[in-house]
Amino acid sequence: MQAARGTSLSPGGSAPTPTARPHRRHLLVFGLVAAVAYATDQVTKVLAVEHLTGRPDVQVVGEVLRLHLTRNPGAAFSTGTGFTPVFACLAAVAVVVVLFLSRRLGSTGWSLALGFLLAGVAGNLTDRLVREPSVLHGHVIDFLMLPNWPIFNVADICINVAAGLIIVQTFRGIRLDGTRIASDDEPDAQEPDPGQTP
């Protein structure tokens, strides 16, 4: 038998598991992180083009970190240089997917992850849309150089930070909506994220 509010009255019955709902503060964190990180990426690229074009490498931290301007027509590690329009379309799809998923946010960790991911993908997508040689063929501005590592930019940092946060949330068993995946010895399959407000 079920009561009017959906609570089981049968012997041994269990109450329905509450479903986490997105909170405005999670959307605010997501939007703020995405906006600040995206703006940082775009401003640093403009400064790099303005101050590094035609100049030798600029040492920032000895030989550990240098500034070296390059224009990358491909993906990570300069791969797929002949498929710039394909990468631009994939990035546009990724932006739409992230925005769609953001409607379900109920976890601060996931809000940070998707915020950084949106900023990184949108940052490099902007280059492919507005920079030379043409729309969808634009070259991504890279200018940060580490020893034995491909040159990268702030957007690339954002994407890697997002990947790390996603891995952490996955290992913690936190779903996008803030509920927790229970282990085999836990009877409750959904547990609110500790950082989630009631």
Among the listed residues 142, 177, 184, 185, the single catalytic one is 142
Q: What is the mean pLDDT of each run of 10 residues along the chain (198 residues)?
A: 45 45 86 98 98 93 94 72 85 97 95 98 96 92 94 96 97 94 59 47
CA 59 from chain center: how many Å? Answer: 29
Task: Decide if 7 is inside a domain.
Answer: no
Q: How many domains does the chain have?
A: 1
> Which residues sit opposite 59 in a β-bridge?
66
How many CA atoms does the CB half-sphere of 89 hold within 13 Å? Answer: 4
156 is catalytic: yes
- Dump pLDDT digits (tens) for 111-159: 999 999 999 999 999 999 999 998 988 999 999 999 999 999 999 999 9
Domain carrying residue 57? 24-172
pTM: 0.80
Task: Decide if 8 is inside a domain.
Answer: no
Task: Decide if 74 is inside a domain.
Answer: yes
pLDDT at 174: 96
Task: Decide if 38 is inside a domain.
Answer: yes
Task: Decide if 182 is inside a domain.
Answer: no
Among the listed residues 127, 156, 177, 193, the single catalytic one is 156
Task: Decide if 194 is inside a domain.
Answer: no
